[in-house]
Amino acid sequence: MNLYEHTIVARQDTSPSEIKQLTEKYSKIVEKNEGKIIKTENWGLLDLSYLIKKNKKGSYIHFKIKGKGNVIDELEKNEALDKKLLRYLTVRVKKFNLEENFFTKKESDFKKEDYKK
C-alpha cells in the first residue's frame, strides 16, 4: 500500500455545506476503490498566488490516503470533471506526519511587533 497526500482547491464561492459534500464525495471514491482515508484536514479559504479561473482565493481540503495507485487515478479522473474545483495535487510520501497541523495559527506565530502601530 502506498501513502499519498492529496490536496484539492475549490472555488472561493463554495459554501461550507458544499465543501462538506465534496469531502464526503471524494472520501467515498477512495473507499470504493479499496483505499483508506487516514486523515482529512480543511485548511479553509486561502489566497492563491495568482488568479485561477478569475478566483483570487480558494478553499483547500487536504487528504492523507493509504491505497494503491488506481485509487488516485480514479480520484483525479473525477476531479478533472468537477466544475467546483480549481486545482488538485497528489504527492506520494514515505510516511505521514499526523501530529502537525500546518495551517492552524498558534499563539507563538503571532508577534507583538505585528500589532504595534
pTM for this predicted structure:
0.81
* The three three-digit cell numbers of residue 115, written as one number: 500589532
* The three three-digit cell numbers of residue 101, written as one number: 497541523
pLDDT tens digits for 52-73?
Answer: 889 999 999 999 999 988 899 9
Which structural domain range is residue 64 located in?
Answer: 1-81
The reply to whether 92 falls in a domain is no
Specify the CATH number for the domain of residue 67: 3.30.70.60
Structural domains of the chain, count? 1
pLDDT above 90: percentage of residues in the chain:
55
The reply to whether 9 falls in a domain is yes
pLDDT tier at 110 (50, 70, 90 boundaries)?
very low
CA distance 108 to 117: 20
